[in-house]
């Protein structure tokens, strides 16, 4: 897999974490501090880096069975994830009333990190099925998510209400495009 494709996958996966971070920054009743950023970006980046590895391990076990149609599996998984992100972005109200609770701590943070990283599990499964290496994608996905989450949380007060759900839509469209690219490349090779 090319470095550009890995980066695009990372950006696509990080968009929902970015959107959640924007919305969180928008709704936090207190000033966003470095500790908030470190906790949220660290949790989101860490989960996004770990989940593809778990999916990849599962995908490696299925690779022999799925090899004849792995490109369709990749298209199906990335397409499903992407469409779900687009629909979520369309339905999402990124700006709710500010709250005094701290979503960068405890079970709230754990739930948000897990919810935003489930897509990465499916992408890892796709990488495992297609026989792609996992170390570099995991690192890139984790770092990109960390950076985008940090930027999202810090800029959330100004931008979250305006752009939060749109970023989730863009990320979904990127994942759908990558799924289509994988399927088209495989079909063209077979000709």
Tens of pLDDT, residues 33-46 = 899 999 999 999 99
User: 44, 37, 16, 14: which is closest to 157 by C-alpha?
Assistant: 37
Average per-residue pLDDT for the chain: 81
Tokens standing for 37? 């950023």
What's the pLDDT at 151? Answer: 93
User: 125, 152, 186, 178: which is closest to 6 by C-alpha?
Assistant: 178
Contacts of 124 (CB under 8 A, 6+ apart): 51, 52, 53, 54, 55, 56, 57, 58, 59, 134, 137, 138
CA dist 59 and 30 (Å) reads 43
- Identify the burial level of 106 via C-beta atoms within 10 angstroms of its C-beta, where 0-12 means exposed, 13-18 middle and 19 or more buried: exposed
SS3 of 38-102: the string is HHHHHHHHHHHHHHHHHHHHHHHHHHHHHHHHHHHHHHHHHHHHHHHHHHHHHHCCCCCCCECCC
CB 153 within 8 A of CB 40: yes
How distant, in Å, are the alpha carbons of 114, 141, 144 from that of 6?
Answer: 21, 8, 11
Mean per-residue pLDDT, 6-17: 89
What's the pLDDT at 22? Answer: 80
What's the pLDDT at 40? Answer: 94
CA dist 110 and 44 (Å) reads 9
Contacts of 184 (CB under 8 A, 6+ apart): none
Element (H, E) at 1: none
What percentage of the chain carries pLDDT values higher than 90? 24
What's the pLDDT at 110? Answer: 84
CB 35 within 8 A of CB 54: no
Mean per-residue pLDDT, 37-61: 91
52/104: higher pLDDT: 52
Q: Which of 132-136, 173-177, 179-183 has the highest mean pLDDT?
A: 132-136
Tens of pLDDT, residues 75-122 = 787 788 778 768 877 876 555 555 556 778 888 788 888 877 878 888
CA dist 18 and 14 (Å) reads 6
Global pTM value? 0.71
């Amino acid at each position: 897999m090319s470095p550009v494709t890995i980066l695009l996958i990372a950006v696509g996966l990080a968009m929902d974490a970015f959107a959640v971070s924007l919305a969180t920054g928008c709704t936090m009743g207190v000033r966003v501090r470095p500790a908030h950023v470190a906790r949220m970006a660290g949790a989101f980046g860490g989960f996004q880096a770990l989940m593809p590895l778990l999916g990849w391990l599962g995908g490696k076990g299925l690779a022999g069975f799925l090899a004849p149609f792995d490109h369709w599996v990749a298209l199906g998984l990335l397409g499903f994830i992407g469409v779900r992100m687009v629909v979520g972005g369309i339905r999402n109200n990124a700006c709710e009333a500010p709250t005094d609770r701290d979503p960068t701590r405890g079970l709230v943070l754990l739930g948000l990190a897990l919810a935003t990283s489930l897509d990465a599990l499916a992408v890892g499964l796709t990488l495992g099925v297609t026989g792609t290496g996992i170390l570099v994608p995991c690192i890139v996905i984790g770092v990109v998510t960390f950076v985008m989450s940090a930027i999202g949380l810090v800029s959330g007060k100004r931008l979250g209400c305006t752009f939060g759900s749109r970023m989730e839509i863009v990320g979904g469209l990127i994942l759908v495009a990558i799924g289509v690219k994988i399927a088209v490349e495989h079909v063209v090779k077979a000709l």
